[in-house]
Amino acid sequence: MRSIVIEQAGGAEVLQVKEMPDLTPRYGEMIIDVAYAGVGLVDILARNGAFAELFPFPIIPGLEVSGYVRSIGDGVHGYRVGQPVAAMKLLELGGYATQARVTPELTVPLDELDGQVEMSDAAASIVNLTTAYMAVKYVNRMREGDTILVHAAAGGLGSFLGQIAKRFGASKVLGTVGSSDKIKLAASLGYDELLLRSDFVAITKQLVHGRGVDAIFDPVGGETRARSMELLKPLGQMIALGNASGGELMHATNEIWLGNQNIAGFNLGAYAVYDPQLVGQAARDAMQLLANGKIRSEVYGVYPMERASEAHRLLESRQATGKLVLQMA
């Protein structure tokens, strides 16, 4: 098989295409022939060495793939060789390769969905879509008529959060973007109002007539998260979904207590260790929304695996809207 290997931390130039031995399934696993692999912020962080203790070099990055079942290990039932699937490699990396090792719990059989999902969309969607679905349904427990605010509305995760929130009954969905050229795209993804993050606090207060919002979904972190807290209604909830800014701020417990606020965190990979069955079921339910056209995926670009470094540079530039995908086969 061919893989994109990172032997040491560094810039996008450290991504190298190499020949490696074919994979064979262990007990409870399947091997798939990968058609597409999603490119995400986690891949950038892993390349930079942020997870070196968890994933020591050399590594093959990649958390999400689509393709066809190549071989099936003992103990796996309900799948067949040649079946089209999408899978999450949340417990390990390894998606940037022409073959990938996956577990049935975190794999979605695409041919069993009511409708059709393109292979590139499946790889682009499964992790962010499942994260958005679980954040809205299980973490926030959104109520009919809620008003919410989503940061990074045009990003891979934000592109689904607005749509999923509307499916669960949100009456007003506000979103922030980092630059004005992302507003047009985000407006097509379920958002009622789009704001620049440079001045979102004052404008949000005007839009909600000073009453605040019921929930804030934030993958940005840092100062953006700190400034957002004053926008929450009493009993409102801040859901931390990432820390793209790299900043880290702690909130005083007394302020949270006196403000009647809630702060929750959700990390799909960590939760998959605890309950892979629930994550897998959520992935199926979320991908069904994509298959029947109730939500849509926004793929910014598809790159052959040999141009993976170009995709990484584009993602790091923060110019991409939606998701970047590598074509592996």
Helices (H), the chain: 41-47, 119-134, 158-167, 183-187, 200-207, 222-228, 253-258, 268-274, 276-291, 308-317
The residue assigned the tokens 């598809």 is 302
234 pLDDT tier (thresholds 50, 70, 90): very high
What gap in Å lies between CA 156 and CA 161, rounded to an integer? 9
User: Contact, 322 vs 156, CB < 8 A?
Assistant: yes
Output phi, psi for 101, to 5 deg. Answer: -90, 125
Output phi, psi for 87, to 5 deg. Answer: -145, 155
**Arithmetic mean of pLDDT, 31-40:** 97
Which whole-number Å values give the CA distances from 2 to 22, 37, 208, 306, in the listed order? 9, 13, 52, 10
Contacts of 249 (CB under 8 A, 6+ apart): 221, 222, 223, 225, 226
Output phi, psi for 216, to 5 deg. Answer: -125, 125
DSSP 174-225: EEEESSGGGHHHHHTTT-SEEEEGGGHHHHHHHHTTTS-EEEEEESS-HHHH
The region that residue 62 occupies, defined by phi over 0 for left and psi between -120 and 50 for alpha, beta otherwise, is left
Contacts of 118 (CB under 8 A, 6+ apart): none
Coil vs helix vs strand at 314:
helix
Residue 41 has pLDDT above 80, yes or no: yes
pLDDT in tens, 275-308: 999 999 999 999 999 999 999 998 889 999 999 9
The domains of the chain, with CATH numbers, are 2-125+275-327 (3.90.180.10), 129-269 (3.40.50.720)
Residue 244 has pLDDT above 90, yes or no: no
pTM exceeding the 0.75 threshold for the entire prediction: yes
pLDDT, residue 48, reads 94
* Helices 119-134 and 158-167, packing angle to 10 deg: 60
What gap in Å lies between CA 312 and CA 11, rounded to an integer? 9
What gap in Å lies between CA 3 and CA 259, rounded to an integer? 50
pLDDT in tens, 75-109: 999 999 999 999 999 988 999 999 999 999 999 99
Q: Is 78 exposed, middle or buried (0-12, 13-18, 19+ CB in 10 A)?
A: exposed
Residue 56 has pLDDT above 80, yes or no: yes
